[in-house]
Structure 1
Amino acid sequence: MELTQATVNDLLDRLGPGTGHLYLPADLDPQALTDLLDGRYGAPRTLVLDGFTDPTADESRDAALLAPFEGRAVTIRAWAYGDRWIGTGTARDAAGIVRPVLVAAGREVPEPLAAAPGEDVDWVRRLIRITGWTDPAGRPAMDWAKTEASLGTGLPSDYKRMVETFGEGAFDGFLDLNQEPWADLREDGLLIWAGTEHEDLYCWRADGGDPDRWPVVVRSFDGKDLAFDCRAAEFVCRILVDPHHPYTLARYFDAHWFMTYGGNGS
């Protein structure tokens, strides 16, 4: 079987829209299929390696990919994508022969409850829930003191937690999270913490002594600014789930995920 992105599309169509699995021809290179999916969905999480399942696998989440193999999975790598879990690797068939496999399972992502007036919301925790994030911390050892010294300012604590938690990648494969703020618009009083393929820049108005009170400002591709009285993590949560937000992604995706660019979970 010649593997191309078109082949992958055909295989995923054969799985159907919900849960399904396929044992693939023995001569198919499972690493080649992993690489193609990696190019589409970002770096995978290793769910099973040499027959040993990651102990953090959750039966209500990505571990649903393992149910069809009844303990016979050998190596499975997994991706969260929209309302599905996608997995590929190898597993033993009913005759005990190790074969390449492709598997999908439905994915339900709880949306955050509305914040009550005056409620102290942990927006990073809500973002983890919205995206169904299960991987280990992406960049837990960031040297923020060095970064802040080079910028000459402290940085918002929720942004630092987002980087430490998710690492390098993009929300819904669209909103790229900068691992360090960009100072390209410093003369305008802005620090850039994220951006999109549409060339919108998500910034803070970096004035005032408390970075945790900096408002978010979106600098659009045509140079116009729109300010939001919220912090970065809350802004991301709202564009993911609020269909009426000016920069919403909720109109395009029913469930949300974080596409990892690095090797956080591999």
Structure 2
Amino acid sequence: MKDDLIATQTPKCRITDPEKALAALERAVPGLADLRRPEPAAIDWAVLEGSLGTALPCDYQYLAEWYPPFAVGGFLLIALPEPGKEHDTLRGIRDSLDVLADAWLEPHIGLRSHPAPGGLLPRAESDESDKFLWSTTEDTPQDWIVTIASRSGGWWHYSGGALQFLAEYCDGTLEPWALPPVAPEATPCGAGGRERRSGH
């Protein structure tokens, strides 16, 4: 399978404003706003971007500044950097890149991992090891698209940003090719990005 043969879903209108993208996600996952910080966190983006060798999309930065790591539907784990723990985030990204290169990317698929030009950069995963990635092929991070690699072997692209993808996945706007439907429920994550369950 070559990259130009991987199917793509395209949103009716790409949301480029981070505030509007986050508002769409909060509408799609009504309980998410309960996890929102009272004020934006001061994350050292220079540490992350300097080590990765690339800027990161504004919608991702905006989400991370307003939200701690969380899970959606007990399935999709959104790992986000936290103040003072940027190096932990980098370790997680590097570990994910190693797994991606070793176990997911085969020569015939026509895709490479970051830092190769246009390479895939991990941004989230499911508790069943489905991968949610950025394709860094466009001119600026604001133009990057989302690439999905499902555990079942299905690969596809979504030509919108990460927050818009998550909103449309949760509200049922897009077809969840090779993925299960996800319940629009948000749960905070503890250390390591795992879902933190309350109670018993």
Normalising by the residue count of structure 1, what TM-score does the alignment of the two structures yield? 0.48
1:125 pairs with one of 4, 14, 23: 23
> Is it true that 1:171 corresponds to 2:72 in the alignment?
yes
**Structure with the largest fraction of helix:** 2
**1:257 corresponds to:** 185
> Is it true that 1:242 corresponds to 2:172 in the alignment?
yes
Q: Deviations over 1:66-101 (max 9, x none)?
A: xxxxxxxxxxxxxxxxxxxxxxxxxxxxxxxxxxxx
CA distance in 2, matches of 1:127, 1:224: 25
CA 210–152 in structure 1, closer or farther in 2 if over 3 Å, else same: same
For residue 216 of structure 1, report the CA deviation from its aligned partner. Answer: 0.2
2:160 is paired with a residue of what secondary structure? Answer: coil
For residue 131 of structure 1, report the CA deviation from its aligned partner. Answer: 2.2
For residue 242 of structure 1, report the CA deviation from its aligned partner. Answer: 1.1
1:202 pairs with one of 132, 137, 145: 132
**2:56 corresponds to:** 155
| 8 Å contact kept, 2:168–2:174 | no
Give aligned-pair identity as a percent. 25
| 8 Å contact kept, 2:15–2:160 | no
CA distance in 2, matches of 1:244, 1:211: 22
Runs of 4 or more, structure 1, over 4 Å off, are 115-121
> Is it true that 1:232 corresponds to 2:162 in the alignment?
yes
> Is it true that 1:221 corresponds to 2:151 in the alignment?
yes
State how 1:136-151 maps to structure 2 within 5 Å.
136-137=36-37, 140-151=41-52
Query: Looking at both structures, which has the greater relative contact order when contacts are Cα pairs under 8 Å and sequence separation is at least 6?
Result: 2
Q: Structure 2, unaligned stretches of length 5 or more?
A: 1-10, 81-88, 102-111, 114-118, 192-200
CA distance in 1, matches of 2:68, 2:53: 23
| 8 Å contact kept, 1:131–1:258 | yes
| 8 Å contact kept, 2:28–2:168 | no
Q: Structure 1, unaligned stretches of length 5 or more?
A: 1-114
CA distance in 2, matches of 1:200, 1:239: 14
CA 208–252 in structure 1, closer or farther in 2 if over 3 Å, else same: closer
| 8 Å contact kept, 1:167–1:262 | no
* Bigger radius of gyration among the two: 1
For residue 219 of structure 1, report the CA deviation from its aligned partner. Answer: 1.5
CA distance in 2, matches of 1:252, 1:208: 29
| 8 Å contact kept, 1:192–1:202 | yes
